[in-house]
Amino acid sequence: MNNKIHGIQVMRGVAASMVAFGHFAAVAEELYGSEQGLSSSLRTFHSTIGQSGVDIFFCISGFIIVLITGKQRRNTVFRDAAYFLFRRIIRIYPLFWIALAASIIVERTWLTIASEQAWLTVVGHGPLASIVLYDTPVALPIAWTLMFEVRFYALIAMVLLVFRAKLQKGILIACLGTVTCVSLTSLQILPYVRIGDRIMLEFVFGALVGLAVINRITVLPRVMVIVGLLWFLATTFFTSGDVAVYRIWGYGFPAALFLYGLVTIERQRGLRVPRWLLAIGDWSYSIYLWHWVIMRSLAHGALQLEHTPGTAIAFMATGLAATYFAGYLSFRFIERPLFQVAKFSLRPQEPAPAT
């Protein structure tokens, strides 16, 4: 398959936009003032559609990583694993560090932090742990998703080391091991570790879709697209409460069904997508990181204004426009050059990760 799968690009762009819209809606909710109906709608958007974009990302990550490992050349065991990790590190960390630094500056400016103790509350309880994504940096809380991404990457690197000649078998065993770990953690038989968090099941869903696509397993792709979409929408409109309770089966699993159907249809018939939508897919990682920095920057000033619908609309329009523009600039001048740095061998460039 081509490195750029149009269906994946569309889903990445949509997922990043959902998360950005959701977070801007959370701030806009406060700005609507007396318009209770609109305020309630924004709250609902943030707590459902906004958060579900993350579940789409995780499924896409599982899928893409399986495709990447399936294409890797067979050199030495350690070189394959090192190459995989090097590409992932270059892809994830530099832009994350830049966005984290910008977010710290924003938080320190608005919070007027003076004491060392207060400064540490912005950086995180363990600055080094936050920098390497072992823990979530307080200044950039959306990076919690990247913590799970890097753990999944570490798991796949282990598969490359142990199952060099039988990668698909290794991936299946890793998926089974993850499901077992999640089950034992949920039953409190094992102490909580992030690899045992239920959210890891969404990577498993994506990985299984990847294996199905690699092996050209075709099962009613159009039906899968329809069922996945309707299931996803039903979860959005007919559930309430803490999204963490139902997100795995309410959002993650139907996202995987939709992903499988869309990619399979594209493989069979092709998929025509507007170029601007593909571009947003390219910018998705930058959009995901920079929208938080932009939102926090604008929110400080916006919350000082009169809380009216007009203020809220202006805040969302300005913030989202700035986010997409920042995503474009970040992709062109940061991400794309990093792609070139990562191409230190003759191997073909792999697709960007979902996050």
Give per-residue pLDDT as tens, 100-112. 999 988 887 775 4
Q: State the amino acid at position 116 in one-letter form.
A: E
Q: Which residue has the tokens 């493989």?
A: 267
pLDDT at site 3: 61
pLDDT at site 239: 81
CA distance 201 to 198: 6
What's the pLDDT tens digit per position in 190-237?
Answer: 888 888 999 999 999 999 999 999 999 999 999 999 999 999 999 988
Measure the N-to-C terminal CA separation of the chain; round to a whole number of Å. 21
Residue spans of the chain under pLDDT 70: 1-3, 33-47, 71-77, 111-126, 344-355
CA distance 176 to 170: 10
Buried b (16+ CB within 10 A) or exposed e, 198-233: bbbbbbbbbbbbbbbbbeeeeeebeebbeebbebbe
Q: Which two tokens mark 235?
A: 């979860």
Check if the beta carbon of residue 175 is closer than 8 Å to that of residue 168. Answer: no
Check if the beta carbon of residue 11 is closer than 8 Å to that of residue 278. Answer: no
pTM summary value: 0.90
Q: Which of 298, 283, 275, 291 is nearest to 333 (CA)?
A: 283
pLDDT at site 43: 67
pLDDT at site 287: 98
How far is Cα of residue 71 from the mean position of the Cα atoms in its chain?
A: 22
pLDDT at site 264: 97
Q: Which two tokens mark 232?
A: 């996803």
